[in-house]
Chains A and B, each alone.
Chain A
């Protein structure tokens, strides 16, 4: 598995999740464990550029893939989070940022969302679109307004 551009390997039992492999075995602690049930998004990472929740995948399933965690992200959305107060405690932030990076790529590829009026159209990133597309990332501190503003700023 490549993690943040570096070839890594570990001998793991098949029951180890991708999240636990990263945090406990590879020392990559950016992805956070919130719920361990797919419901909060704190553990979001990019696999081959696509956002996933690392708590519900087994590490063995990602053998040979390219995994990017917040440690490997270098994207304008990071500064935009700081400028727009997109965080308070910061626990959800690594997941929010990875999710935002994946989301912007999905939108650039023309993918619709549940907020898209006509699914055959190419939607623009309105506030409603951003909120819907980011609904897999919860923020216990309620920094949502800043998060949406940060993403809107980068989306232009």
Chain B
């Protein structure tokens, strides 16, 4: 790991000032992604601003009936929080599906949002990678690409966003609150991450010195919801495909649906096409299949990841079917 200047920030003002004063600085939260990448020399910041002690670790109820979650809250604390477990069980499930208990005790909400891809070539400095070094190429396209994306990719990059938590946040219409020396702003989660296009090294719409301070969830819907993750082993593996869904059925018809996908795209993927097809349609297996097909129609596959289209289709249909059953029992 390259040496760096270390700044421990006791409060938000110090953190954003330090980041503004040192271009190229990185915020350090739990460290579970950044320390790993610095050790591999993929990240080489001259200054590290340690935000792990910022007092942004609480969950508060908002006036509109939602929750505001501090950005430094640990993934494990958020998953276990009583208000999250009862009102947003899909978020608890997504958090608990990610990483290991030790990592969740370290990982923060802000760090999870901004964690970088697990594309093996991104980590391997001996191979070309546009995301790591723009203009060098993409080793994944002709290489081992079983874990790579099928939606929203470009000729320059086919990497996935690896987060589980973010898939639930996308389905829940979360809003991210950020702050820098100029002030604060709010960004809908859907607008936080960018698609790669021909600039895969630009992953978010944040300025480098903007600090995520909290995540706001709107009031919960009453509909049954679920996070379902498919992976190579039963636990402690990244998603091949994951689905976050909430389904409200009235008189056999889909009254409301929220659907987001993980493991298939460069950003947490809100399945707007599928939602459009489903809303107002009969809550039947045929509708679920038609919705999945509509969402996956633009999929572009590589040699190693063709299976993801069928896997995603089946996982979407199975999750919606389970939710429809659950809703009709209630």
Contacts and interface: CB of A to CB of B under 8 A. Distances in A.
- Do A and B originate from a single complex? yes
Interface string B197-228: 00000000000000000000000000000000
B226 to A, nearest CB: 11
A94 interface: no
A36 B38 CA distance: 12
Contacts of A44: 102
B69 interface: no
Nearest to B82: A120
Contacts of B294: none
A119 B103 contact: no
Contacts of B181: none
A53 B36 CA distance: 12
A57 B5 CA distance: 16
Interface in A82-140: 99, 102-103, 106, 109-114, 116, 118-120, 131-133, 135-137
A135 B100 contact: yes
Given A103-B101, A113-B96, A58 B35 contact: yes
A58 B31 contact: yes
Nearest to A17: B35
B28 A58 contact: yes
A18 B218 CA distance: 38
Given A50-B105, A114-B93, A119-B93, A14 B236 contact: no
Contact of A60 (B38, B50, B93, B234): B50
Contact of B100 (A15, A41, A131): A41
B85 interface: yes
Which of B2, B31, B39, B76 has the most chain A CB atoms closer than 10 A to its own CB? Answer: B31
A28 to B, nearest CB: 18
A52 B107 CA distance: 10
A102 B6 contact: no
B80 interface: yes
Nearest to B90: A119
B165 to A, nearest CB: 13
B35 A56 contact: yes
Which of B8, B99, B105 has the most chain A CB atoms closer than 10 A to its own CB? Answer: B105
A40 to B, nearest CB: 10
Interface in B1-38: 1-6, 8, 28, 30-32, 35-36, 38
A51 interface: yes
A146 interface: no
Contact of B32 (A38, A114, A119, A137): A38
Contact of B92 (A38, A41, A102, A112): A112
B160 interface: no
Nearest to B6: A14
Contact of B235 (A58, A103, A114): A114
Contacts of A17: 35
Contact of B36 (A37, A103, A110, A113): A37
Interface of B: 1-6, 8, 28, 30-32, 35-36, 38-39, 48, 50, 52, 76, 79-80, 85-86, 89, 92-93, 96-97, 99-103, 105-106, 234-236
Interface of A: 13-15, 17, 36-38, 41, 44, 50-53, 56-58, 60-61, 99, 102-103, 106, 109-114, 116, 118-120, 131-133, 135-137
8 contacts: A50-B76, A56-B31, A57-B31, A60-B50, A61-B28, A99-B102, A119-B85, A135-B234
